[in-house]
Amino acid sequence: MKRVYYYVIGAVALLGVTIGATWIGAVNGEVRRNQAVSEATGNVYAQYSGRYEKMGAVIDAIQSADAMILNALQLITDARTAFAAALDAGIDGDPNGQAQIVESTITSLVVLLEDNPNSYQTTNLYAAAIAEFSASTNSVTFSITSYNSAVTAYNTHIHVFPNMLFLGSKTPFATWVVPTYSTTLPTFS
Tens digits of residue pLDDT in 83-118: 676 667 665 556 566 566 666 666 666 666 666 655
For residue 24, the domain's CATH number is 1.10.287
Contact 172, 155 (CB under 8 A): yes
pTM comes to: 0.60
pLDDT score of 125? 67
Query: What's the gap between Cα 46 and its chain centre?
Result: 7
Long-range contacts of 125-134 (CB under 8 A, 24+ apart): 125/58, 125/61, 125/62, 125/65, 126/62, 128/58, 128/61, 129/55, 129/58, 129/59, 129/62, 132/54, 132/55, 132/58, 133/55, 133/185
Do the domain assignments include residue 172?
Answer: no
Tell me, yes or no, whether 183 lies in a domain: no
Structural domain including 143 reads 2-167
